[in-house]
Amino acid sequence: MKRRIFLSLMVIAIAAALVAGATTAYFADVESATGTLTAGTLDLKVNDKNGNVGTFNLDNIFPGYESDGYIKLSNVGTLNGIVKITGATVTNYENGINEPESAYDDTPNEGELGDRVHILLYFTSDNAASTSTALESPDDFELSASHAGSYFGKINGLTNISNWNLSKDLNAGKSVYLYYKIKWFDQKNTSDNIAQTDKCSVTLNFNLYQSNND
């Protein structure tokens, strides 16, 4: 009887040893994985500034006047984008009616300068002077292939600029330029007197969109 009890205790002891051994007796290895998500950036600057940036400020203009220049548009973000002119605001100020204006039935409170002066706009990759464009008459402007996507017309027509699809690829860390030429074609008659003293303000709205070909 004692022997049977002794054997039973032996079996229990061996079984317990096997269970204990089962938790430590094989190789093991544990690893983990961590991923992170960080959003990129799209950030547009106009002439290296944010906000509504002042550009040209042309005083004392006249029939026959012209001026051109560039507006620099930079993508200072980390994602490639497309910059687009999404709209424009044109405001005409009468700025008083002088004696020559009054001879042309000038209507008070709304200037005529934006109806008299033309503007040419297109995007270009650089601001080299060689890209400046000659304009001899309101009818003679033809787009070259490198200037595809442009606006040419009266300043007042800029209010429809969203229909002209002015856009250009603007990759991360890069700049493009909006070329502008402002020209008052001399009509060789005195009807332009109606715009004496008048003032015109133009605001272009730019939007930098994410491009889908990153």
State the sign of the Cα–Cα–Cα–Cα dihedral 48, 153, 169, 43. Answer: positive
Residue number, 32 or 60, with CB nearest to Ca ion? 60
Within 10 A of 20 (CB to CB), how many other CB atoms are there? 10
How many binding residues for Ca ion (CB under 5 A)? 10
- Binding to Ca ion, residues 79-118 (CB under 5 A): 94-95, 101, 106, 112
Q: How far are the Cα atoms of 14, 117, 119, 128, 134 from residue 150, in angstroms, in the given order?
A: 91, 17, 10, 18, 15
Cβ atoms of 161 and 87 closer than 8 Å: yes
- Closest separation in Å from C-beta 208 to Ca ion: 8
- Closest separation in Å from C-beta 195 to Ca ion: 5
CA distance 145 to 113: 31
- Closest separation in Å from C-beta 194 to Ca ion: 5
- Closest separation in Å from C-beta 198 to Ca ion: 4
Q: What residue type is assigned to position 95 of the chain?
A: N
Q: Show the site string, 179-208: x = touches Ca ion by CB under 5 A, - = not.
A: ------------------xx----------
List of residues contacting Ca ion (CB under 5 A)? 43-44, 50, 94-95, 101, 106, 112, 197-198
